[in-house]
Structure 1
Amino acid sequence: MEKITKNTLVSLSLKLEDEKGNLIDESDELMYLHGGYNQIFPKLEAELEGKKVGDTFELLLAPAEAFGEYDESLVAKESLQDLPEDVTVGMELEGENEAIAWVVESIEDEYAVLNANHELAGITLKASGEILEMEHLSDEGVDEILKMEHEH
């Protein structure tokens, strides 16, 4: 029976829960290209190496292995005068560094609190699921998938 190795297109179900068992996210079918292409968390990819269709998995992902540690330096108070007039809680704003998206967490009289941490930063996650399908790809097939990924 085929096993997951480098350049395998893998389809799996995935459930993410916090340490208390609260459901964070659930996907009936998630596809990724196995082999260090940074399409899923490295620790999860390592766990899936060698598995076959029908196998299940369950592992804990520490914050550093998932969405990162919570970073207080990514929380800022900004004067409302420096923000768009129509600013609302939940709105995403681009910072001077375009790689960082700031989310408006709260609005007070004179200022807004902005946070650029991922919403799941600092949370240990339990990942579980099952391998649904897999297909070993040729180098051309791998190139095609990676090309599609860069076009998004």
Structure 2
Amino acid sequence: MAKAQEGDKVKVHYKGTLADGHQFDSSEGREPLEFVLGSGMVIPGFDEGVTGMQIGEKKTILIPSEQAYGPANEELIIKFERAEIPADIPLEVGGTLNMHQEGSGQVIPVVIREVTDAHVILDANHELAGKDLTFELELVSIG
């Protein structure tokens, strides 16, 4: 039976969880994820986990943060004076805001980490940066 290898278009059902068991993503109830192995369409550890699987095979893989979204970057945690943020913008810890990158105008989602009367701390890291990820995989097709 054929094994998935670099360059193959594959379809995979998956469930992603964190070390505490929190599920952050799943293909359940949706079409399987389709991508080309080795093309950079998915995080490196996911590519490596699927490589060598056979159709119908199921397995669980642990992807360290370095093979997922990388470590959290302290430079992407930004402290603003509270007065710099318009009063009509709701600020709740854990909530998200969209910042516009100076020059390019690119929209960057940020998570509100701390709110005081004096300042607000925003985090522009990917929500899964610095986290090890566990995936339950099932290879649906190679083609």
Q: Shorter-chain TM-score: what band? A: 0.7 to 0.9
How far did 1:10 drift? Answer: 0.9
> Does structure 2 conserve the Cα–Cα contact (< 8 Å) formed by 1:88 and 1:107?
no
Q: Trace 1:16-95 onto structure 2 (pairs within 5 A).
A: 16-28=16-28, 29-34=32-37, 36-89=38-91, 90-95=96-101
Aligned length: 134
AA partner of residue 107 (structure 1)? V
SS at match of 2:128: coil
Higher helix share: 1
AA partner of residue 122 (structure 1)? G
CA distance in 1, matches of 2:53, 2:65: 24
> Does structure 2 conserve the Cα–Cα contact (< 8 Å) formed by 1:94 and 1:102?
no
CA distance in 2, matches of 1:67, 1:50: 23
Q: CA RMSD in A?
A: 2.2
AA partner of residue 39 (structure 1)? M
Partner residue of 1:12? 12
| 1:66 to 1:99, Cα distance in 2 relative to 1, 3 A | farther
TM-score scaled by length of structure 2: 0.79
SS at match of 2:88: coil
Percent identity over paired residues: 25
